Amino acid sequence: MKNRSVLILCVMLACASLLAANQATGLRDFMRAKLKHSQTVLDGLVRGDMVAVGRAAQDLKLLSLESTWQVLQTEQYINYSRQFRADADALAEAAKKNNLDAATSAFNKVTTRCVECHKYVRDVRMAKK
């Protein structure tokens, strides 16, 4: 009976480890998608392709609505997410108006928001350790 309990515990731990690894992989893939859309915006700005910029801005906003995006449930994190969506909307609007200067400025805000939020998430996670 003792061996059976140990075996069950080992199986449970292995399953939990696999689940955690799958979640980490999913988040990593999600962040890579966000990076890809950001790179598309930069490429579009450099080439003057406002259609690509607008499309990538909308894709960034849609990513921010996915459940994978919601890594924290704090007021500050929710505020960062809300601001990110507003910045992505401003980027899409500037692209729609074919305004390179406004689109570049909006993309700088989107990028700054990403860096600020990632710093915040790291700080919160470090505080929990």
The 8-class DSSP code of residue 1 comes to: -
pTM recorded for the entire structure:
0.78
Whole-number Å distance between alpha carbons of 3 and 94: 66
Residues 9-36: tens digit of each pLDDT:
343 434 444 334 334 567 788 789 889 9
Question: Which domains does the chain carry?
Answer: 27-128 (1.20.120.10)
Place of tokens 């960034």: 60
Query: Among candidates 50, 30, 31, 62, which has minimal Cα distance to 106?
Result: 50
Which residue in 108, 106, 110 sits closest to 118, CA to CA?
110
Tell me: the pLDDT tens digits for 62-75? 999 998 888 889 99
Q: Which of 44, 47, 53, 42 is nearest to 94 (CA)?
A: 53
Q: 92-126: per-residue pLDDT in tens?
A: 999 999 999 999 999 999 999 999 999 999 998 88
Per-residue pLDDT band for 3 (boundaries 50, 70, 90) equals: low
Q: How confident is the model at residue 81, as a pLDDT? A: 94
Largest Cα–Cα separation, the chain: 72
pLDDT at 90: 98
